[in-house]
Structure 1
């Protein structure tokens, strides 16, 4: 009996083992089938990729990728011509580079955080004059997708997949023989952890593209966090998006200066939920000495939103020989303890990059050469035309609704205020970051005098001018002179006259940066956004309190 009972137990154990094996095999087959079903085909530009739900893809950033292609294409021609001139070659740029073809003297490009490989594949198919593109990602699953997408798009000769930590990979390319001509950093959140290695891995005169999506930190919601990440204090001011760009630029410059290098910004944009800068990186210990004159602290009035810049360094030129420059430390502070306009205290932010953030010549070349086949070409033309009109030597800007809100006065048409500034003999422009922006070289006192003159024509309610308020303090002073609001012929900018799409609406419902390692395709992101909308209001509602 004991023998038969043991035999039955043995047979049952064998059945159990086979049952487990069959179950595991069934689950594996079902997962493979699910993964095949989850594969989504995405077409953008000349690339078509397949991606799974756990790999990050954001369609809103097509503008980002289109613009990057346009910028690198212009840079490729410039970089080649500069190399010929440096080599003192008599050869002229006669080669008509074609996209999708490998050139041994072409660009060596790194996309450090590639995800699906879409950007690298588009670079290979749409940028003329490429030698090699390294598409790197830390995720093994992402690299699998990159390899498959490279094969599907027939760009194996141009795109090389890489499975590595981006920082380590860039440190491995810091020797001048292995450096990249172009490095593209488009991380989720803050890019600062990649900057030290990127600065060392890029060639002299190379192009560095950097994106930052942590706008809450850069725009003043968490200044202490901004300091830990970027080495600067952010402020909650109306021109916070431009200040965010300038904080990022000073952070890149700071990393570059440690290695005897410096940056020259080509284009700096704030778009959608992120900021994006395109800078060239050069080597030169002497040029690094000019960095202090390109950086400033910002004094921001807590009452009237006025701002004043205090440079970290100033330059003194010799009258007899303008090539001789002395580097001086400025005296300060640039403001008194209380604001001269409204009597309120100041916050101090920065340091920020206070030199120009665009190259007008480079922007003009992109407008002339950008491909009409790009899906977002109309947006590129609209934004870059506004950028080309910006006052490049004037940091930060005011906003019309903030100034009118401070004084509690009727808001005039933008063209009226612009005319008043132009009639007073000063320059004025929009910023691409805000449709009510006023970027001007007029002193702050002149701006408030213009607003006082406007208030005389459209008086503010006396009930709202409480004692000690910014409005009461500003309007208690008399303008030094009368200002004309007659329409000025240059008040209406060319970009508006030509009907360009200058300021963009939200591209999609429930748009945003998305979640890390979450695909921005299908209904996953949208359903989560819908679920979270109004969450705080529901939690604070009386019904919720009664339930609790």
Structure 2
């Protein structure tokens, strides 16, 4: 295997000095050329995956212990780095340098085997070299195949993997069908997405948020599983930086699959004020000991928004159920908090998971305070003031790990816009307007408006670790980064710092979407924001 790895690289690359990348317990040999993809910023992704795998191994060990109860043979779990004959079989379908798989082999106990696959021959050769360099060749096998074909070949129940990890450059949509068939009963399926929503047969026009995209992917996983009488159980789902990461278990059950439609929903989103309503795609009713499944009735909205009179856009379907298993998340959080020095990104993992435990489970989407303020052209209230107003009104509210300005609440849109109209009165910004307010809001800050993760100043969102820390360029066969990409980066560097200050350089004619108003050119028309602010439609409803 070592001679084969050596022959996969060009003669000049064989004598090239490799860079040693250290992460966790692994030390990876990485070529200086961009021939195999690697992004150091995704250390958080890999750390989170390892700690979730540790929790998965703990669950497996507990299950084996329960099976051994009453027998003389004790349950045996091999230590990290050792082969366990009854351990977990892991597949990383798109492994690139193999860093994640090497970390699995070195840091996760109770493994039977780790298969690190990549379609690139150079990547597969690098994986084999790194496995030998880290002394885990007895656990980790390099594979150079098409990931889908590899998983299709392992569909038999005796061949299935206990853990399948898919982290592609872009979208995993083309691998989902093969993966859902080759994961074992109750096995863990880990999926990352760095791409758009158009690959999942859904519409993303209704609410372009990170949480919306996350729920689109969960819907796609469950839809793909349902084809084979299987269903998913989300354990942990996060939207961080420039990608989405979900951890789910896969089970088989025809009766449970029938309930799948009631877990999905369409989203009606107002283009004017941003109010959204969910329409479940199925309905489940209890009839004694039996469950009846039927089609849902709708739509939940009229042709025009009742708050601003604008039209609705239709989006989805999305996953409308809980996206986390709080018991599992608490177990992962305890593992990180108990040993904060174990992972390089432990502080951020603790912060993100703490926010996850504080989120409202039964509220699928969220509003952002700055967008609410932008709609009616007013100053933005602080998160504490807005959260306090909702709590004073008797509603539940939480933040979201996906966006620092997000507000998740069970308050209806009418209550939210009442609070915003009260805020305008409270600040005295638009004194000459007659504002119709159905319920008065109180902005006195409450103690419970500030969640524990915020009080403890936990690291919840990414701080810029380095220049150009985004998704990175795709690996090239010849290595290196294209000149066009570097030129593009220089072109847009500091583009917002050099703004035009000379009024003579600004255009002096109204464009199509703007009209002259009170002698000022290019000022946005007041509709629908001002109608919403004045409460025109709220007044109509109250009559």
| Alignment TM class, shorter chain as reference | 0.7 to 0.9
Per-residue Cα deviation, 1:499-526 (whole angstroms, up to 9, x for no partner): 211222233221211222159x998899
Per-residue Cα deviation, 1:286-330 (whole angstroms, up to 9, x for no partner): 100111111000001000111110000122124xx4x43211222
Q: Which residue of 1 aligns with 2:227?
A: 258
Question: Which of 352, 363, 380 pairs up with 1:394?
Answer: 363
Q: Which residue of 1 aligns with 2:81?
A: 100
Change beyond 3 A, Cα 1:532–1:32: farther
Question: Which of 242, 259, 272 pairs up with 1:273?
Answer: 242
TM-score of the two chains, using structure 1 as the length reference: 0.83
Contact 2:94 2:118 in 1 (8 A): yes
> Does residue 74 of structure 1 match 2:43?
no
In structure 1, C-alpha distance between the alignment counterparts of 2:124 and 2:420, rounded to whole Å: 58
Change beyond 3 A, Cα 1:77–1:281: same
> Does residue 287 of structure 1 match 2:256?
yes
Change beyond 3 A, Cα 1:288–1:392: same
Per-residue Cα deviation, 1:15-70 (whole angstroms, up to 9, x for no partner): xxxxxxxxxxxxx9x96345532522211111111122211111011110000000
Contact 1:81 1:93 in 2 (8 A): no
Contact 1:57 1:518 in 2 (8 A): no
State the 1:127 CA deviation.
0.7
Q: Which residue of 2 aligns with 1:380?
A: 349
Q: Which residue of 2 aligns with 1:4?
A: none
Matches within 5 A, 1:30-179: 32-37=11-16, 39-52=18-31, 53=33, 54-82=35-63, 85=66, 95=76, 97-179=78-160
Per-residue Cα deviation, 1:99-143 (whole angstroms, up to 9, x for no partner): 111111111000011111111100000111111000111111111
Question: Which of 474, 482, 489 pairs up with 1:516?
Answer: 474
Secondary structure of 1:37's aligned partner: coil
In structure 2, C-alpha distance between the alignment counterparts of 1:258 and 1:200, rounded to whole Å: 10
Question: Which of 334, 350, 372 pairs up with 1:368?
Answer: 334
State the 1:148 CA deviation.
0.9
Question: Which of 410, 414, 418 pairs up with 2:379?
Answer: 410
> Does residue 194 of structure 1 match 2:175?
yes
Secondary structure of 2:16's aligned partner: helix
Contact 1:355 1:395 in 2 (8 A): yes
Change beyond 3 A, Cα 1:532–1:39: farther
Matches within 5 A, 1:330-369: 330-369=296-335
Per-residue Cα deviation, 1:370-412 (whole angstroms, up to 9, x for no partner): 2421000011001110111011111010000111111112212
What's the C-alpha RMSD, in Å, of the aligned pairs?
2.9
Secondary structure of 1:43's aligned partner: strand
State the 1:530 CA deviation.
3.2
In structure 1, C-alpha distance between the alignment counterparts of 2:72 and 2:156, rounded to whole Å: 28
> Does residue 247 of structure 1 match 2:216?
yes
Secondary structure of 1:349's aligned partner: strand
State the 1:528 CA deviation.
5.6
Per-residue Cα deviation, 1:395-447 (whole angstroms, up to 9, x for no partner): 01000011111111221211011011111111100000111110011111111
State the 1:338 CA deviation.
0.6
Q: Which has the larger radius of gyration?
A: 1
Contact 1:113 1:187 in 2 (8 A): yes
Change beyond 3 A, Cα 1:422–1:518: farther
Q: Which residue of 1 aligns with 2:489?
A: 530
In structure 1, C-alpha distance between the alignment counterparts of 2:246 and 2:183, rounded to whole Å: 16
Per-residue Cα deviation, 1:327-382 (whole angstroms, up to 9, x for no partner): 12221111011111111001000000010111111110001112421000011001
Contact 2:206 2:267 in 1 (8 A): no
Matches within 5 A, 1:304-315: 304-315=273-284
Q: Which residue of 2 aligns with 1:317?
A: 286
Per-residue Cα deviation, 1:2-24 (whole angstroms, up to 9, x for no partner): xxxxxxxxxxxxxxxxxxxxxxx
Gaps of 5+ in 1: 1-27, 219-225, 466-474, 542-548
Per-residue Cα deviation, 1:226-265 (whole angstroms, up to 9, x for no partner): 1xx2021112636x10010000000011110000000011
In structure 2, C-alpha distance between the alignment counterparts of 1:127 and 1:345, rounded to whole Å: 52
In structure 1, C-alpha distance between the alignment counterparts of 2:202 and 2:30, rounded to whole Å: 38
Q: Which residue of 1 aligns with 2:401?
A: 432
State the 1:82 CA deviation.
3.4
